[in-house]
Structure 1
Amino acid sequence: MSHEKPQSRPDVDASAACSLSLTERTLTPEEAERVALMFHVLANPIRLRLFSAAASHKNGEACVCDIADACDAGVSLATVSHHLKKLKEVGLLTSERRGTWVFYRAEPSVLDVMGRMLSRSAQPGPA
């Protein structure tokens, strides 16, 4: 597993990519880099569970203590914090501090882009 530092948040423009589907056309090199980085971060099972916990929580946001509960008992809070940072770096999560608590939410525009990319186009392509 690579320990390279992810680049800063990718430039994900949901409005420009809203009709993009992998079945419609080949991604540009820049699009492929941005999308691959997001999926690379999500490929870690702990990160995927943390992301899912934030995305599926009531009101669309979750306190860090709620998210940490989604992990296995053997995962330390420092590890949870590290993985949440990685999810934020690529723009999959946003956070807001309220007093001593930090609340996380899945970035809706990124979810939309990822969902559209993985869905089939409404228009079948040429055979």
Structure 2
Amino acid sequence: MCVNIEVRRSPGVTVPVRELPLAPASTTSCCGIGVDGGLTREDAERSAALLKAVADPVRLRLLSAIRATDAGEACVCDLTDLVGLAQPTVSHHLKVLTEAGLLERERRGTWAWFRLVPSRLADVRGIFD
């Protein structure tokens, strides 16, 4: 099936330009990109929230530092010197990472200790698989 595309040059004068085939009713857009594949809206929103949590240089350094420890965990008191920021600022970044599920927090006395959640790191890697 085709559709006529016309251009009006002046009132009452129509010039046919060309006939274009109509795309069949399918899940393919005009450029051949399938619209059924890829992330759902919900998956994209979850992935964006996860990526937003790691899309900060300080947070990436914190994750990397915790991952590099022998025990796989670190105290907030050790992380402040590493990134050269005040404890409240580092705690804020760690809270964002914890809320995103990338870190687990454990209170030991007056200090908080953080360890990675490997499955969430795998989720970050899996977004682009």
The interval holding the TM-score normalised by the smaller chain is: 0.5 to 0.7
In the alignment, which of 37, 56, 64 is matched to residue 68 of structure 2? 56
Which residue of the partner structure matches residue 44 of structure 1? 56
**Is the 1:63–1:104 contact (alpha carbons within 8 Å) kept by the matching residues of 2?**
yes
Matching of residue 78 in structure 1 with residue 88 in structure 2:
yes
Query: Which is richer in strand?
Result: 2
Which residue of the partner structure matches residue 28 of structure 1? 40
Q: How does 1:1-127 map to 2 (within 5 A)?
A: 25-71=37-83, 73=84, 75-119=85-129
Kindly provide the amino acid, as one letter, of the partner of residue 126 in structure 2: R
User: Percent identity, aligned pairs only?
Assistant: 48
Larger Rg: 2
Query: Which is richer in helix?
Result: 1
RMSD of Structure 2 on Structure 1 (CA) = 1.6
CA distance in 1, matches of 2:73, 2:108: 12
Unaligned runs of at least 5 residues, structure 1: 1-24, 120-127
Unaligned runs of at least 5 residues, structure 2: 1-36
- Aligned residue pairs, count: 93
1:67-118 deviation digits (Å, cap 9, x = unpaired)? 22320x3x21111111111111111111101122211011111012222333
Which residue of the partner structure matches residue 10 of structure 1? none
- TM-score normalised by the chain length of structure 2: 0.64
